[in-house]
Each structure stands twice: as structure tokens, then as C-alpha cells.
């Protein structure tokens, strides 16, 4: 195995040197800067096995060179996690030197070996960034957590999801939350379900805001105005439709004077001859096929 040249300023390499010194697996030989071998400037040669670094006329094999002012032919990829990248490089270099490293376990989330910081919980090991709340996905770290069905939950989510709800009391008797509101809470005038929060008070009833709509077209009352018919709210158009006060000519509400004819109601200006369209303002007309005609048109058409 050839020599590996690493930079002294790299803290990871210093760690390798210390490990090698403790394990006695190699030796470190410092070299002075020599010309023209500037690629060896201020380097450290790490030998996996004691051997001569140079013989007469023979140059050592170099597996990896890192020196000041030099860059490797291919730039290293951007590390997603600097710490994990450094630890991964350290493990790779130690393996290349013949030093076997043992992972601290396999992450319970990503199923990859753990090198570096480790979280031990629920009988498993985790990368710190992978030990998260199952519900909100926030990192738990050193905070309190709860286990349910083999999954970790942060304290807040666990109580919101699984803790029993407080009981309610009525006349000295205890009721669960659901039954208490079903039995004693005011009911919505639209859906008849219990009202727990915001409500609208109208027509002598309470309503969920989303239930207070026209009973015919279910359109909310954006401007706040509605029409009461038999204790139920309606928009203007359907209120007049229910009361029969829509003009049969234009299908719009009649709010002033109206003409009642043929069992229908009309705005005065819309009660016209079906043929000549003249207004039948004198109140005299002839009916044919459920349509009004002036006297002249009726004679021309049907006599």
C-alpha cells in the first residue's frame, strides 16, 4: 500500500495521526520542503507499514495528495451535512489504513449506520436529526417524548392526540365531553348539532356561522341582510319566490305596486300584451293559452 499525504491543518487528519499513534499501526515521518518536489511541501507522509520512502532512482507511489495551492482533479461534491461528511471521510481513511471502525448502530429511521452523535431511545439508535415526532416531524433532541405503538411523539402532540379528555359536571353527575355537549349545549337552528364556539343569534335561534345561509340556495348572507319566512332565513329572491311575490314577467321581486292576474303577480310595467307588448294599464285584457292579449290583438289573432 502506498503512502498517503494529508494536510496538517486538517483536524480530521490529526485525529487519524493520533489514532495511528495509539494503535501502533503506522509511523509518521515529516519531510522538509525539497526542490523540485514542491508537491511534498509541508506535508505529512503516513505509512500503513514501515517501508523505505525512497530508494535510489525509485519514487514512491502516491495514492492521494493534498497540498497548499493544489486542487484535486475532480472537486468533491457539496456535502449535505458537513459533520456527516467529515465523519464519513474519517471512516473511509481509517478503513484504507487497515483500521476497522465499528458503527454505533443502525438508525431506526433511515436504516443507515450511525457514525458520530447517536440518540438511543425505545431500544433503538437514531441519527439525532432523524429522531423526530411522528406527528409534527419536529426534532425531539433531548426534550421529553412519549412512545405509542413503537413511535415517538413530542409531549404536546401526544397529549393532544391520546390523552383522555376532562369530564364535565351537571347536577352533580359526570359526563364525557361528547355526551355533555350533545345533551346540554345549545343546538344550531340549521344542523341541530351542538354549538361549541362562535355562533350567530337570529330568528330566536343560535346558528353555526356556516349554517346561517339561505334555506333554498344555501348562499351565505354576505351583507348581513336576510328575509324571514316561517322562521327560516332566505335570500331576497327565494323569499319572494316562497311568498309568490316574484314578477311573472321579469322573475324579480315585487316590492311596490303590483298587478295580480291569471293567478300571477306582475310589476305594472311588465303586464303587457303577449303580441304587441303594449302595457295593459287599463286592467282589461283577454287571456289565451295562459297569456294576456290586448283586445285588438286578440281579435286579429283568434277571431
Residue 61's pLDDT is what? 44
Which residues have CB under 8 Å from 141's CB, separation 6+? 128, 131
- In this structure, is residue 198 part of a structural domain? no
Residue 233's pLDDT is what? 94
* 204 has a pLDDT exceeding 50: yes
Q: What is the CATH number of the domain that holds 264?
A: 2.10.110.10
81 compared with 62, residue with greater pLDDT: 81
Residue 47's pLDDT is what? 43
Preceding omega of 189 cis (within 30 degrees of 0): no
- In this structure, is residue 216 part of a structural domain? no
pLDDT digits (tens, 9 = 90+) for 245-261: 888 888 888 877 888 88
Cell of 185: 349545549
pLDDT digits (tens, 9 = 90+) for 148-188: 888 899 988 898 888 776 777 888 888 888 888 889 999 99
126 compared with 25, residue with greater pLDDT: 126
* 126 has a pLDDT exceeding 60: yes
Of 68, 180, 288, 290, which Cα lies nearest the Cα of 298?
288
As a whole number, the mean pLDDT across the chain is 75
Pairing of strands 173-175, 200-202: unpaired
Residue 66's pLDDT is what? 43
- In this structure, is residue 64 part of a structural domain? yes
**How far is 234 from 249, CA to CA, in rounded Å?**
22
Residue 257's pLDDT is what? 84
Domain that holds residue 10: 4-71+86-96
- In this structure, is residue 178 part of a structural domain? no
Looking from the CA of 88 toward its CB, the CA atoms found within 13 Å total 9
Which of 1-5, 11-15, 89-93, 117-121 is predicted least confidently? 1-5
Do residues 95 and 48 lie in contact, with contact meaning Cβ atoms separated by under 8 Å? no
Cell of 82: 458537513
Beta strand ranges found along the chain (DSSP E): 4-7, 27-30, 43-47, 119-121, 124-126, 145-148, 151-154, 168-170, 173-175, 200-202, 205-207, 227-229, 232-234, 259-261, 264-266, 286-288, 291-293
**How far is 181 from 268, CA to CA, in rounded Å?**
54
- In this structure, is residue 49 part of a structural domain? yes
- In this structure, is residue 252 part of a structural domain? no
Burial (CB count <10 Å: 0-12, 13-18, 19+), residue 47: buried
Do residues 133 and 153 lie in contact, with contact meaning Cβ atoms separated by under 8 Å? yes
Q: What percent of the chain has pLDDT over 70?
A: 67
Q: Which pTM value belongs to this model?
A: 0.36
Residue 59's pLDDT is what? 47
- In this structure, is residue 213 part of a structural domain? no
Residue 170's pLDDT is what? 84
Count of domains observed in the chain = 2
Q: What average pLDDT does range 132-147 have in this prediction?
A: 88
223 compared with 76, residue with greater pLDDT: 223
Our CA dihedral for 25, 31, 36, 40, rounded to 10 degrees, sits at: 50
Domain end, chosen from 62, 96, 130, is at 96
Of 179, 206, 2, which Cα lies nearest the Cα of 97?
2
Give the gyration radius of the chain's Cα atoms: 45
99 compared with 187, residue with greater pLDDT: 187
- In this structure, is residue 41 part of a structural domain? yes
Amino acid at each position: 500500500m502506498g503512502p498517503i499525504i494529508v494536510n496538517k491543518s486538517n483536524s480530521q487528519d490529526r485525529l487519524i495521526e493520533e489514532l495511528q499513534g495509539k494503535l501502533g499501526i503506522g509511523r509518521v515521518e515529516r519531510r522538509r520542503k525539497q526542490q523540485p518536489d514542491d508537491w511534498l511541501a509541508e506535508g505529512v507522509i503516513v505509512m500503513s507499514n514501515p517501508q523505505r520512502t525512497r530508494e535510489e532512482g525509485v519514487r514512491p507511489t502516491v495514492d492521494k495528495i493534498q497540498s497548499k495551492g493544489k486542487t484535486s482533479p475532480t472537486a468533491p461534491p457539496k456535502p449535505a451535512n458537513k459533520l456527516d461528511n467529515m465523519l464519513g471521510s474519517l471512516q473511509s481513511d481509517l478503513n484504507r489504513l487497515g483500521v476497522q471502525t465499528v458503527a454505533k448502530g443502525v438508525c431506526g429511521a433511515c436504516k443507515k449506520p450511525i457514525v458520530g452523535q447517536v440518540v438511543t431511545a425505545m431500544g433503538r439508535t437514531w441519527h439525532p436529526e432523524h429522531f423526530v415526532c411522528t406527528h409534527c416531524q419536529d426534532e425531539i433532541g433531548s426534550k421529553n417524548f412519549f412512545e405509542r405503538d413503537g413511535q415517538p411523539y413530542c409531549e404536546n402532540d401526544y397529549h393532544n392526540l391520546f390523552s383522555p379528555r376532562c369530564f364535565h359536571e351537571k347536577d352533580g353527575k359526570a359526563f364525557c365531553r361528547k355526551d355533555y355537549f350533545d345533551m346540554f349545549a345549545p343546538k344550531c337552528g340549521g344542523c341541530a348539532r351542538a354549538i361549541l364556539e362562535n355562533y350567530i343569534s337570529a330568528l330566536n335561534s343560535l346558528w353555526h356561522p356556516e349554517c346561517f345561509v339561505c334555506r333554498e340556495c344555501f348562499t351565505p348572507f354576505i351583507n348581513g341582510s336576510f328575509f324571514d319566512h316561517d322562521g327560516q332565513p332566505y335570500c331576497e329572491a327565494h323569499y319572494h319566490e316562497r311568498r309568490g311575490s316574484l314578477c311573472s314577467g321579469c322573475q324579480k321581486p315585487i316590492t311596490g305596486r303590483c298587478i295580480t292576474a291569471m293567478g300571477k303577480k306582475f310589476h305594472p310595467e311588465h303586464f303587457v300584451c303577449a303580441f304587441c307588448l303594449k302595457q295593459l294599464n287599463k286592467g282589461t285584457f283577454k287571456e289565451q293559452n295562459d297569456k294576456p292579449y290586448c283586445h285588438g290583438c286578440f281579435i286579429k289573432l283568434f277571431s
